Amino acid sequence: LVARAIHELSPRAAGAFVAVNCGAIPEALLEAEFFGYRKGAFTGAHEDREGFFQAAQGGTLFLDEIGDLPLAMQSKLLRAVQERAVRPLGAVAEAPTNVRIVSATHRDLGAEVQAGRFRQDLYYRLNVIRIALPPLRERRSDLPVLCQALLARIARDAGVAPAPVLEPAALAQLGRYAFPGNVRELENLLHRALALAGGLRIAQEDLGLPDDLLGERDAPETAPLPLPLPLPLPLPQTAPAAEATRLPAQPLPRDLAAHLDAVERDILERALALHRYNRTAAGASLGLSLRQMRYRMARLGIGAGTADAAAEPGEGD
C-alpha cells in the first residue's frame, strides 16, 4: 500500500506500477524475469520478451522482499541501478531504463550486510530514503482506513460494486488480533471474508478468526476503533451502513470453489488484457511469478491470447 501510494502521488503516476515478490521467483529465472530476453537466447525462447524493468518503464518498480535475492542477482541488480540500463538475455547492447525503484523487506538489511548475505554497495544504493513501518499490531488505529482501502481494491478486482463494509463488531474483533503477517495477512483475511459474506456487510463470523488468537476485549490498546472516514484516494465509494442494511444480500454461491475460480479467472484475464498478454508483466502486476502465472492459467483454462507461441525461461521444446 505504501509503495503504491508513493507511485500514485508522484509525477510517475501515469506510468506502470510493477510489483515483484523477489522471494517467489526461482533463482534460475531471476535474470530473465528482471531484464527480459531475446529470441533464441535459450531453448524455447521463440520471441523477444520484456522483463520487469522494461514493463515498469516510466513508472515504478516495487521490489518486495528484496532481502531474499541471492548474492549473484544482487550484483546484476546493482549494475542495472547504477547504469540505469539493462541487458536482456541474448542481447549484445544494453537498453536504457527510466524507473523509480521502491524496495521492501522484513529482514534487517544492516545485519544481513554484516553477515555477508547482502551486498553493502547495493544496500547504500537503495537506502536513499528509508521509511520504517511499524507492525500492524502497533498501529491498530490504522485498521479502519486500511480495511476500507483494501476492501475497495479487492471488490474492484472481483467486480463487486459497491464494496462491502465491515460491521462494527467485525472491526472491533480485528482490533483484538495480533496480525503476525501484518498488512498482507489482513488483505488475505479480507479476500476470504468478502467471498464468504456474499452481501454488502461483513460480519465477524465471516472473518473466521480463532478465539485463542484474539486479545482481551477490555485491553486498552484494543479499545473500540473509530469507523473509517472517506478516503482521499480515487477509490470506489462504499455504501453507507444504513443504505447497506436496506439492500438485499447477494445469495451465497452453491459451489464456493467454482465461485472463487471464476473470480480469479476474471482477474487474470483482465490483467493479461491490460498488459497485452505479456504473462511476465501481468503476473508481476498481481504479485505472481511467471511460473505461478502459467500454473494458474493452465488450472483455470485461460488461453495465452496473442502470446500462444511464446515460450518462457525454463520451458524446453
- How much is the average pLDDT of 190-203? 85
| pLDDT above 70 as % of the chain | 82
- Gap between the Cα atoms of 16 and 3, Å rounded: 13
pLDDT of residue 213: 64
pLDDT at 123: 95
Q: Would you state the pLDDT for residue 296?
A: 84
- For the chain, the average pLDDT equals 81
What's the pTM value of the predicted model, to 2 decimals?
Answer: 0.60
Residue 57: count of CB within 10 angstroms of its CB? 16
Question: Which of the pair, 9 or 209, is modelled with greater confidence?
Answer: 9
pLDDT score for 158: 81
Residue 81's pLDDT band, with cuts at 50, 70 and 90, is very high
**pLDDT of 234 strictly over 80:** no
Query: Which band of pLDDT confidence, cut at 50, 70 and 90, is reported for residue 310?
Result: very low
Q: Is 90 exceeded by the pLDDT of residue 84? A: yes
* Residue 188 pLDDT greater than 70, yes or no: yes
* pLDDT on residue 197: 81
pLDDT of res. 256: 73
> Is residue 178's pLDDT more than 50?
yes
- The cell 531453448 sits on which residue? 43
Contact 162, 237 (CB under 8 A): yes
Which range among 18-27, 29-38, 172-181, 217-226 shows the weakest confidence by mean pLDDT? 217-226
Confidence label for 112 from pLDDT (cuts 50, 70 and 90): very high
Lowest mean pLDDT among 64-78, 167-181, 187-201, 293-307: 293-307
- The pLDDT value given to residue 163: 86
Q: Domains in the chain, please, with CATH?
A: 2-126 (3.40.50.300), 136-246 (1.10.8.60)
Residue of 52, 116, 38 whose CA lies nearest to 80? 52
**Model confidence band, residue 231 (pLDDT cutoffs 50, 70, 90):** very low
Among 217, 15, 164, which Cα is nearest to 97's?
A: 15
- Cα dihedral across residues 122, 128, 129, 134: positive or negative: positive
- Tell me the pLDDT band of 279, cut-offs 50, 70 and 90: confident
User: Which is nearest to 90 in space by CA: 56, 122, 48, 60?
Assistant: 48
- pLDDT for residue 248 is more than 70: no
Average pLDDT score over residue span 136-148: 89
Q: Is residue 237 over pLDDT 50?
A: no
CB 295 within 8 A of CB 314: no
Q: CA–CA separation, 149 vs 147, rounded Å?
A: 6
Going from the C-alpha of 243 to that of each of 138, 144, 155, 234, the distances in angstroms are 33, 19, 18, 21
- Compute the average pLDDT of residues 241-259: 56
Which pLDDT score is estimated for 215? 63
For residues 19-37, average pLDDT: 92
Task: Confirm if 222 and 140 have CB atoms less than 8 A apart.
Answer: yes
Is residue 294 pLDDT above 90, yes or no?
no
**Average pLDDT of span 271-282:** 84
Yes or no: say if 147 and 186 are a contact pair by the CB < 8 Å rule.
yes
Q: What is d(CA 273, CA 302) in angstroms, rounded to the nearest whole number?
A: 12
